[in-house]
Amino acid sequence: MVATQKISDVKGFPFPPGGVDLLIIQPSPFCNINCDYCYLPERTSQKRMSTSVLKQTIEKVFAAGLVGDKLSIVWHAGEPLALPISFYSEAFQAIASLPIAKEKITHSMQSNGMLLNDQWCSFIRANNIRLGLSIDGPSFIHDAHRKTRGGKGTHAQVMKGVEVLRRHQIEFHVIAVVTEQALNFPDEIFQFFLDHDICQVGFNIEELEGVNRTSTLMKGSVDQRIKDFFRRIFYLQKESEGTVRIREFDRAYQAIAQAKIDDEQLTFPPNDQVAPFAIISVAYDGSISTFSPELLGMKNSEYGDFCFGNVMTDDLSDVVSGRKFQHVLNDIQTGVWLCSDECEYFSFCGGGAPSNKYYENGSFATAETMFCRYTIKTPIDIVLDDLEQSLGINNSQLNHWN
């Protein structure tokens, strides 16, 4: 084990109360397809993480004293299945050789599903890997944006992957990107997931992030259509009696249940993206980032990039004293304070996603974004309306007490 100072020993540092929640490892930035809304800048690069970088990553994260009972590793930020199975066999063996790590770690992968086959499924089952696939809905919606480098749609190939997963009885969840085109088809999208027994779906709106500098949702006229889309999806979810669970509404229920509103003493709701090291992201070359995972590997004029150190040369406690890290942390915390001052959803949200603030508003030290309007505020409004209706409360009754 490498000698290192624990982050919790660094004087005055606001280490995350719950420890590290997520370690995101980018085994390679490469992706085998070319979606038109992708935010990753290096997706044609075939560089990959070495075993020594992987081992140092795990050792440094544990040595920083931030890991609790469990650590979830997500292999992401490129297409993880584009690397051969042998890469992961070696990587998992390297992790297993570190006694401190092997009992606590679980693995997840977020994949485009194009390369799934029997061999991958056997490996996924044998290693208990939690799998997420990216499928935007039926082919006419999915294929409009999720394309090969030659411009062909990828839906048919992904659905072959789904068939193989079914044969091997492997459960998976799906992330679907909502573009302007998708807003016209909530029924068709929901029916697609129902028809294919896809029971857990998260909707990501098409974000302005990284190298994706435009979004079809940026037009002012789509505001009501996005809200209508989510309301319709909520209605369909209820009608299906929870056969398909939608992440955004599950999170809204959870945030409402956990919200603490105390006018005397402001409490900060948990938000992994604004707590340093609650999420740690490590790139193929050992670069360390934290806060929003989407900051990994991004270049910009203000900070240069969001790499705060390298696992081969730095401990996480070295990262904390770095000027760039302190600058970013300060700006993110200013943004959280702005949110707490301005936003009535703060007790549910805790200050949103720094990467969306940076890419939409040009600064971390800002509050509302398109991302939070549609993926935090809108689902909370929908769920609160529904709860009020079920309890027989209407606005005129509430206004009576004002």
Q: Summarize as ranges the residues that interact with ligand SF4 (CB under 6 A).
A: 339, 343, 345-346, 349, 351-352, 367-368, 372, 376-377
Nearer to ligand SF4, 171 or 341 (CB): 341
Nearer to ligand SF4, 191 or 333 (CB): 333
Do the beta carbons of residue 230 and residue 236 sit within 8 Å?
Answer: no
Instruction: Tell the burial category of 360 from Cβ atoms under 10 Å away from its Cβ (0-12, 13-18, 19+).
Output: buried
- Closest contact distance (angstroms) between CB of 373 and ligand SF4 is 7
Q: How far is the CB of 368 from ligand SF4 (least distance, A)?
A: 4
Q: What radius of gyration, in Å, describes the C-alpha atoms of the chain? A: 21
Residue with tokens 């369909």: 236
What residues contact residue 399 under an 8 Å CB cut-off, 6+ apart? Answer: none
CB 178 within 8 A of CB 330: no
Compare residues 20 and 376 and give the one whose CB is closer to ligand SF4. Answer: 376
* Shortest separation between residue 247's beta carbon and ligand SF4, angstroms: 16
Q: What is the number of the residue whose Cβ is closest to ligand SF4?
A: 352
Name which of 316 and 343 has its Cβ closer to ligand SF4.
343
Minimum distance of ligand SF4 from residue 351's CB (angstroms) = 5
| In the complex, least distance from residue 367 CB atom to ligand SF4, rounded to whole angstroms | 4
Q: Which is nearer to ligand SF4, 42 or 206 (CB)?
A: 206
In the complex with ligand SF4, which residue's Cβ is closer, 317 or 347? 347
Q: Which of 74/343 has CB closer to ligand SF4?
A: 343
If we measure between CA atoms, which residue out of 83, 48, 41, 27 comes closest to residue 297?
41
Q: Which residue's CB is nearer to ligand SF4, number 365 or number 372?
A: 372
Give min distance, CB of 213 to ligand SF4, in A. Answer: 21
Shortest Å distance, C-beta 9 to ligand SF4: 31
Listing DSSP states for 241-292 in one string gives: TTSSEEHHHHHHHHHHHH----SSS------TTTSBTTEEEE-TT-EEEESS
Q: Which two tokens stand for residue 376?
A: 């935090």
Minimum CB–partner distance for residue 180 and ligand SF4 (Å):
21
* Least CB distance to ligand SF4 at residue 338 (A): 7
Closer of 80 and 351 to ligand SF4 (Cβ): 351
State the minimum distance, in angstroms, from the CB of residue 364 to ligand SF4.
Answer: 11
**Residue 73 phi, psi dihedral angles, 5° rounding:** -100, 125
Long-range contacts of 149-153 (CB under 8 A, 24+ apart): 149/33, 149/34
Bridge partner residues of 246 (DSSP): 201
Q: Closer CB to ligand SF4, residue 66 or residue 217?
A: 217
Tokens 């004087």: give the residue: 11
Q: How far is CA 390 from CA 193, 236, 259, 393, in A?
A: 27, 17, 20, 8
Identify the three-state secondary structure at position 178. Answer: strand
Q: Distance between CA atoms of 217 and 136, rounded to whole angstroms? A: 15
User: Is residue 46 within 8 Å of residue 30, measured between CB atoms?
Assistant: yes
How far apart are the two ends of the chain, measured CA to CA in Å?
61
CA distance 310 to 294: 17
Query: Position of tokens 């280490």?
Result: 15
